[in-house]
Amino acid sequence: MPDAPKNIDKKEYYVAKFGEARTAAIFERMTAIGKEEGINFKYGGRTGNTRDSHRLIQLGKKKSPQMQTRVIEELFAAYFENEKDITSQDVLVETAVKAGLDKAEAQEWLSKGKGGSEVDAEVQDAYRQNIHGVPNYTINDQYEIGGAQEPATFLELFERIKRGAAGGVATGNTC
């Protein structure tokens, strides 16, 4: 949510975007899928503009692909399981340290706006490709699957690609 305000109630945001019934269905589905994967989704806490989180991911990326992955995993745990406000720089620094980054370096990175131009370029590139939410998957630089999809959607696309008959875009719920 690059244009969203900071520090808004997560449940209220989802209800405003999807409505109460659809939000309840989304939460129920995510909870069930998460449980199968060992993820304990929680829906309280705050949400908002994630630009600073993406800047922190850029710091991880600068270090190594493995560090980038650790930063992303810690951000996801903070947001989805621990109801932390990932729009807060204090929470982001705490997350960076848990991922293995140096605290002082993370504080400086965030306070000085480092990584912002890279994040902004990625957002603009996504908009040019008509991507406006997550998750979004581009396969073979040609086929797009947007939103939360069942595994069968991917399997169907892979089969169509294999037969040479793929086309179109699959879409679902995005954030």
Domain positions in the chain: 8-119, 131-174
Res 30: pLDDT: 92
Would you call the peptide bond into 135 cis, given omega within 30 degrees of 0 as the criterion? Answer: yes
pLDDT tens-place values along the chain, 175 residues long: 556 777 899 999 999 999 999 999 999 999 999 999 999 999 999 999 999 999 999 999 999 999 999 999 999 999 999 999 999 999 999 999 999 999 999 999 999 999 999 999 999 999 998 888 888 999 988 888 988 788 899 999 999 998 887 555 555 655 5
Res 172: pLDDT: 60
**pTM for this model (two decimals):** 0.83
Per DSSP, 138 falls in state: E
Q: How far apart are CA 18 and CA 12, in angstroms?
A: 10
CATH number of 8-119: 3.40.30.10
Res 149: pLDDT: 85
Res 132: pLDDT: 84
- Please name every residue paired with 46 in a beta bridge, in sequence order, or none if there are none: 9
Burial 124-144 (b: 16+ CB within 10 A, else e): eeeeeeebeeeebbeeeeebb
